[in-house]
Chain A
Amino acid sequence: MLTGSIGAPFAFLLAVLGIVVPLLLIASRAKSVQRLAIALILAASFAGCLVAVFGFRRQPGTVVDLSRATPFPFSFDVDRLSALFLLLVCSVAIPVTMFAAPYFDRHYSEQRRNWTWAFFSLFLLSMIVVVTASTGFAFLAGWELMTLVSAGLILIEGESAERRHNVFIYLLMMHAGAAAVAACFFLFLPFSHSLDFGAIRAAGAIVPPGIRTAVFLLAFVGFGAKAGIIPLHLWLPRAHPIAPSPVSALMSGVMLKTAVYGFVRFSFDFLGGGPAWWGYVVLLAGAVSGLLGVLYAIGEHDLKRLLAYHSVENIGIIYLGLGTSLIFLACHAPLLAALALIAALLHTFNHALFKSLLFLGAGAISSATATVDLEDLGGLQSRMPVTGTAFLIACCSIVGLPLFNGFISEWLTFRSFLAGSALTNAKAQIVLPLMVGVLALIGGLAAACFVKAFGVAFLGRPRSTEAEHAVEVPLPMRSGMALLAAACLFIGILPGLFLRPLASLVQGLIPGAGVPEETLSIARIMPWIAVIVLGTGAFAALFKRRKRMARTWACGLPGLSTRMQYTSTVFSKPIRFVFARIYRPDRTVERLPVDQPYFPASISYRSVRTTSYERALYRPFVDLIVSLAHRLRRLQTGNIQVYLLYIFLALVSLLAFLRFQR
């Protein structure tokens, strides 16, 4: 039942999250019970981190096996890849739980709060099950549960028509994605005869090429839908913003990573890489998602939608790394493949840290000023210093500036592109170095977007009374954010501590790969860079003496009003003007009354900036199915004679089938 040293804590983790906490919360509404539940969740997450760290060093083997109880084999195994993602889930869960405790108290009534906490712990459980499952059945059960529980968490917040529509799209796309993922597992059945990961891994070699391609494409689509790759990202900017902030932090920071885990598990662990065009498909998807994701983000002025689009961009960067690694595998360069995979996995971990911090920051803003619309915020840094600083660190990390963790993984991705030029394969030699330009453009635009996001939200003068009277969030929320910010800085300045285990993990996945030299050089130089920059900065700070207040210069006018500041829409106007073709905003200008254009009573201007994928890509497909259904509905005419005719026709056609078959 529980094997190995980490079996016990892992079982404790599952039991607490899965059974103890939900039952406790449903049973009683007392405040003490709820605090106990939160404490249990924190303890379980901490145990999860321990299991992940110890799991890293031990030989992989089933940790917890429930197969005797369940109809199909249902067991868990913490090998190196699972350990990394388990660490990711649990390490992000601790600060998010600390943040969520006061947040839920402030936002929800008594009864809803218990349901939210119950679903919260089930949500964590489902993600842990997904990343540590070692049989197909357990993985799929966790996968569907994750979608259901997250949809439940969103719906608890409210039931407006627009929210329902978004959750409906979310559930529909996730279910279709899950069907593709299920197909991936089942395609191995004729060869592995069981859905146990070990059997699938063994069968990976004897699977014919046709099936391998089918599995890869299904995995790409199935996990791409959950990760939010561009054509399949429709649900992401709709579902994340409407979830409560701690939940959208978990969804954006952690749930997307389970999709990356699934894709890596299939393309590297089970299939062990494939022909080169696999890599190019993933590379293209990554580039498109990265570019379009950041461009749409720049157009947004709702902070949470902006962050959701940035998840699409960062997933794009992760897929760039994965694509490069697949290309190197196809060109038989295991060392370079290892470098690219390390870059992708590190960026996955980094993204989990800073994206959840960003969403927690957005949550802090929304609980302090009851709005996340950038047009109404401003001047929050002086009112909410800790949130501001944490948000600033997260912005620097996501943009990939040195001294922060985002830079390490982007730098490794750059170096893997550069290393691509050393390949003998002509196509890769050209495409990969050019990808440097794409990633640089993504990085530049991300910098522009987050200057806007942080600058408009936190700096300058408050643009609304709520922002004016904003007050710092309580201690647990601040400590949660501080924890994540510290982690971002720590990995940014001392990456070595993290890169060595990652290198050993990747050696397991890619046979014949040593430790890439770049990981060592970056680990050596980053501390020096930090010393120089901070030292010079400290030296420069010596010159600063007395500070005198003086009103901002307003070209001699009596005083600046808050409306004179740059808002987020105006800030992004130049970039949106340059990339107008991508946005294709549909503007509607309406003059009332219509017959007298020159004496308008009122003129209203409305422009929707992001291109509507729903109208272009999904609506025709859905309309086709519904029209087919309507045509079928006409078959049920209501007349009994027609029904009898159907039976006789069926009989006659079967008899004819029998007659000719003979």
Chain B
Amino acid sequence: MGLVGIATEKILSSFSVFLFLSILLLAVARRISTSVLLFSLQSAVITAEVLATAYQEKLAGVYVVGLLVFAIKVVAIPRAFFLLTKRLKTVRDVKASTTPTQSVFITVAMIYLSYAAVHSYGQAVHVPDDALAAAVSLILTGAFLMVSRKKALMQVLGLLVLENGIFLAALLTTFGMPLVIEIGIFFDILMGLLLMGIFTFRISDTFEHLDVSKLRKLRG
């Protein structure tokens, strides 16, 4: 089995705990920079799991996908975020609409919910429960972040966490879709981020603030 085999076995079974950790920390993060850092950590964990699966299932395509994830989500996106926060010179505070304690409670509830959901579908897909639960809780927390954070950048981050969750769920259950489709999806995510960046610049130009909850002119 070799050292690598044991390592991949370990990664797949136990790394989901790091994902739960990153989610909880994201919930309590006060500043954008820490949130971005947590996001890149999270993506690194996912890259590890991708490569582990690739090794176990002997699928060349999944390796490429793993490298892609690493390149984009661990390196490129955090750097873009830091560039953005520097250029926009806005207050670095996350400005959540729920207090940290409430956020933690909600995130824990999310994790419990994902376990309940996965349990009913889990055996149909004979995949390690906690890994799939991590993926689903990533999705739910991403959604919660988007709803609770007032900052435009934090909403983008919430979206990325959501996409991470979906990507992980896809990977665990189906060992990745045909390569062309995966690449297409990544390309779309990148373009989406680019556009959100453009719009963030526009918002900060026209509104002098990045508080999304103040964008309320269009009503009724």
Do A and B come together as binding partners? yes
The interface of chain A, by Cβ under 8 A from chain B, is: 633, 636-641, 644-645, 648, 655, 659
Q: How far is the CB of A587 from chain B (nearest CB, A)?
A: 42
Tell me if B76 is interfacial: C-beta within 8 Å of chain A.
no
User: Are the C-beta atoms of B219 and A637 separated by less than 8 Å?
Assistant: yes
User: Are the C-beta atoms of B120 and A633 separated by less than 8 Å?
Assistant: no
Question: How far does the alpha carbon of A648 sit from the alpha carbon of B150 in the complex, in Å?
Answer: 17
User: Are the C-beta atoms of A639 and B147 separated by less than 8 Å?
Assistant: no
Q: Smallest CB-CB separation from B217: which chain A residue?
A: A638
Question: How far does the alpha carbon of A640 sit from the alpha carbon of B213 in the complex, in Å?
Answer: 7
Query: Which one of A633, A637, A648, A655 lies within 8 Å of B216 (CB-CB)?
Result: A637
What would 4 more interface pairs be, CB under 8 Å, given A641-B147, A648-B143? A638-B219, A639-B212, A641-B150, A644-B146
Tell me if B97 is interfacial: C-beta within 8 Å of chain A.
yes
User: Are the C-beta atoms of B216 and A638 separated by less than 8 Å?
Assistant: yes
Q: For window 111-138 of chain B, which residues contact chain A by CB distance below 8 Å?
A: 117, 120
27 A-B residue pairs with Cβ-Cβ distance under 8 Å, sorted by A, are A633-B220, A637-B216, A637-B219, A638-B215, A638-B216, A638-B217, A638-B218, A638-B219, A639-B212, A639-B213, A640-B155, A640-B212, A640-B213, A640-B215, A641-B97, A641-B147, A641-B148, A641-B150, A641-B212, A641-B213, A644-B143, A644-B146, A645-B147, A648-B143, A648-B147, A655-B117, A659-B120
Question: How far does the alpha carbon of A608 sit from the alpha carbon of B120 in the complex, in Å?
Answer: 71
| Majority DSSP secondary structure for residues of A touching B | helix
Q: How far is the CB of B95 from chain A (nearest CB, A)?
A: 12
Question: How far does the alpha carbon of A633 sit from the alpha carbon of B106 in the complex, in Å?
Answer: 29
Q: Smallest CB-CB separation from B218: which chain A residue?
A: A638
Residue-wise interface mask of B (199-220) relative to A, using a CB-CB cutoff of 8 A (1 in contact, 0 not): 0000000000000110111111
Question: How far does the alpha carbon of A531 sit from the alpha carbon of B215 in the complex, in Å?
Answer: 89
Top 4 nearest A-B pairs (CB, nearest first) are: A638-B216, A638-B219, A633-B220, A641-B147
Most chain A C-beta atoms within 10 Å of own C-beta, residue among B146, B155, B212, B217: B146
Q: How far is the CB of A448 from chain B (nearest CB, A)?
A: 54
Residue-wise interface mask of B (55-98) relative to A, using a CB-CB cutoff of 8 A (1 in contact, 0 not): 00000000000000000000000000000000000000000010
Cβ of B147: which chain A residues have Cβ within 8 Å of it?
641, 644-645, 648
Cβ of B143: which chain A residues have Cβ within 8 Å of it?
644, 648
Question: How far does the alpha carbon of A645 sit from the alpha carbon of B158 in the complex, in Å?
Answer: 13
Cβ of B146: which chain A residues have Cβ within 8 Å of it?
641, 644
Q: How far is the CB of B219 from chain A (nearest CB, A)?
A: 4
Q: How far is the CB of A565 from chain B (nearest CB, A)?
A: 59
Cβ of A648: which chain B residues have Cβ within 8 Å of it?
143, 147
Q: Smallest CB-CB separation from B219: which chain A residue?
A: A638
Q: Smallest CB-CB separation from A655: which chain B residue?
A: B117
Q: How far is the CB of A626 from chain B (nearest CB, A)?
A: 14
Q: How far is the CB of B160 from chain A (nearest CB, A)?
A: 15
Q: How far is the CB of A585 from chain B (nearest CB, A)?
A: 41
Question: How far does the alpha carbon of A633 sit from the alpha carbon of B213 in the complex, in Å?
Answer: 18
Cβ of A637: which chain B residues have Cβ within 8 Å of it?
216, 219
Q: How far is the CB of A632 from chain B (nearest CB, A)?
A: 10
Residue-wise interface mask of B (151-183) relative to A, using a CB-CB cutoff of 8 A (1 in contact, 0 not): 000010000000000000000000000000000
Cβ of B150: which chain A residues have Cβ within 8 Å of it?
641
Q: How far is the CB of A176 from chain B (nearest CB, A)?
A: 26
Cβ of B155: which chain A residues have Cβ within 8 Å of it?
640
Q: How far is the CB of A662 from chain B (nearest CB, A)?
A: 8
Q: Smallest CB-CB separation from B148: which chain A residue?
A: A641
Cβ of B213: which chain A residues have Cβ within 8 Å of it?
639-641
Cβ of A636: which chain B residues have Cβ within 8 Å of it?
219-220
Q: How far is the CB of A270 from chain B (nearest CB, A)?
A: 46
Q: How far is the CB of B114 from chain A (nearest CB, A)?
A: 12
Q: Smallest CB-CB separation from B215: which chain A residue?
A: A640
Q: Smallest CB-CB separation from B158: which chain A residue?
A: A644
Question: How far does the alpha carbon of A644 sit from the alpha carbon of B158 in the complex, in Å?
Answer: 12
Cβ of A645: which chain B residues have Cβ within 8 Å of it?
147
Q: How far is the CB of B212 from chain A (nearest CB, A)?
A: 6
Cβ of A644: which chain B residues have Cβ within 8 Å of it?
143, 146-147
Question: How far does the alpha carbon of A62 sit from the alpha carbon of B8 in the complex, in Å?
Answer: 81
Question: How far does the alpha carbon of A638 sit from the alpha carbon of B217 in the complex, in Å?
Answer: 7
Q: How far is the CB of B124 from chain A (nearest CB, A)?
A: 12
Cβ of A655: which chain B residues have Cβ within 8 Å of it?
117
Cβ of B219: which chain A residues have Cβ within 8 Å of it?
636-638
Most chain B C-beta atoms within 10 Å of own C-beta, residue among A636, A637, A644, A645: A644
Q: Smallest CB-CB separation from B117: which chain A residue?
A: A655
Cβ of A659: which chain B residues have Cβ within 8 Å of it?
120
Q: How far is the CB of A433 from chain B (nearest CB, A)?
A: 61
Question: How far does the alpha carbon of A645 sit from the alpha carbon of B145 in the complex, in Å?
Answer: 11
Question: How far does the alpha carbon of A637 sit from the alpha carbon of B97 in the complex, in Å?
Answer: 16
Q: Smallest CB-CB separation from A635: which chain B residue?
A: B220
Question: How far does the alpha carbon of A641 sit from the alpha carbon of B211 in the complex, in Å?
Answer: 11
Question: How far does the alpha carbon of A641 sit from the alpha carbon of B150 in the complex, in Å?
Answer: 8
Cβ of A633: which chain B residues have Cβ within 8 Å of it?
220
Question: How far does the alpha carbon of A639 sit from the alpha carbon of B211 in the complex, in Å?
Answer: 11
Q: Smallest CB-CB separation from B143: which chain A residue?
A: A648
Question: How far does the alpha carbon of A474 sit from the alpha carbon of B134 in the complex, in Å?
Answer: 92
Q: How far is the CB of A272 from chain B (nearest CB, A)?
A: 52
Cβ of B220: which chain A residues have Cβ within 8 Å of it?
633, 636
Q: How far is the CB of A521 from chain B (nearest CB, A)?
A: 70
Q: Smallest CB-CB separation from A648: which chain B residue?
A: B143
Q: How far is the CB of B55 from chain A (nearest CB, A)?
A: 34
Question: How far does the alpha carbon of A640 sit from the alpha carbon of B218 in the complex, in Å?
Answer: 11
Q: How far is the CB of B147 from chain A (nearest CB, A)?
A: 5
Cβ of A641: which chain B residues have Cβ within 8 Å of it?
97, 146-148, 150, 212-213
Question: How far does the alpha carbon of A638 sit from the alpha carbon of B218 in the complex, in Å?
Answer: 6
Q: How far is the CB of B214 from chain A (nearest CB, A)?
A: 9
Q: How far is the CB of A147 from chain B (nearest CB, A)?
A: 31
Q: Smallest CB-CB separation from B144: which chain A residue?
A: A648
Q: Smallest CB-CB separation from B214: which chain A residue?
A: A639
Q: How far is the CB of B200 from chain A (nearest CB, A)?
A: 13
Q: How far is the CB of B218 from chain A (nearest CB, A)?
A: 6
